[in-house]
Amino acid sequence: MKRTASLLIMLAGLLAPLRAIAAETQAPVITALGDSLTAGLGLPQDQAFPAQLEAALKARGTDATVINAGVSGDTAAAGLARLDWALPDNASAVILELGANDALQGLPPDGTKQALSKIIEAVQARGLPILLAGMEAPPNMGKDYADRFRAIYADLAARYHLILYPFFLEGAALHDGMTQGDGMHPNAKGVAVIVANILPKVGELLAQVKAKGAN
């Protein structure tokens, strides 16, 4: 009996370093939580933002999985309502892209900001780093609304010490040949531009994941 116990203790001692190595080398899982811009409305899934981002990371030699947690039509409040089941247990980090539908509906910026704050606090409570993707309000909403809406993202990034990418659609919005027929959602080429532009920020996000794993 004593010999068996000794063998079990020795085996546990041998396995512990292996488990530590496995934890360190496990590919990070980035959850892209967003609306139709993340979900890839009108596109094959392999051309949606999460799939193209994962492919771009792998092309750079970075082994990471990007989960598509986008739902078309979601406001910030709707994203908050489904956060518990949308964020997988094995998530390593989050790209938060919500707010476009709030602006299109003319919802009060304060409400959008409050919902995003609650999402951020819940994600940070799980110890996960966040890349916050900002959004611009449509010009027809007026300058005052647009300014207040734009400020949401910079304010939240400063308050919660987040990585900020100011405008998710940078390089695609209002550019010829980058959007689908509705003039709003990016086509596959537009998504590729978005991915190329946001990659440095995603690199920062993964650096935070690595730093957390080293602690």
- The Cα–Cα gap between 74 and 88 comes to 18
Closest CA to 43 of 159, 190, 205, 208: 190
Residue 143 within a domain: yes
CATH number of the CATH domain containing 146:
3.40.50.1110
Residue 126 within a domain: yes
Tokens of 30: 């980035």
Residue 188 within a domain: yes
Active-site annotation holds for 147: no
Q: CB of 166 within 8 A of CB of 17?
A: no
User: Among the options 36, 74, 92, 102, which is catalytic?
Assistant: 36
- The Cα–Cα gap between 74 and 81 comes to 10
Active-site annotation holds for 102: no
**Total domains in the fold of the chain:** 1
Closest CA to 93 of 197, 198, 204, 196: 204
Residue 12 within a domain: no
Residue 4 within a domain: no
- The Cα–Cα gap between 72 and 158 comes to 28
Cα–Cα separations (whole angstroms), residue 99 to 49, 114, 158, 168: 16, 11, 18, 11
Active-site annotation holds for 6: no
Residue 9 within a domain: no
Residue 206 is which amino acid? L
* Residues of the domain holding 35: 28-214
User: Among the options 74, 92, 102, 185, which is catalytic?
Assistant: 185
Residue by residue, pLDDT tens for the chain (215 residues) are 444 444 334 434 444 443 333 344 589 999 999 999 999 999 999 999 999 999 999 999 999 999 999 999 999 999 999 999 999 999 999 999 999 999 999 999 999 999 999 999 999 999 999 999 999 999 999 999 999 999 999 999 999 999 999 999 999 998 889 999 999 999 999 999 999 999 999 999 999 999 988 65
Residue 13 within a domain: no
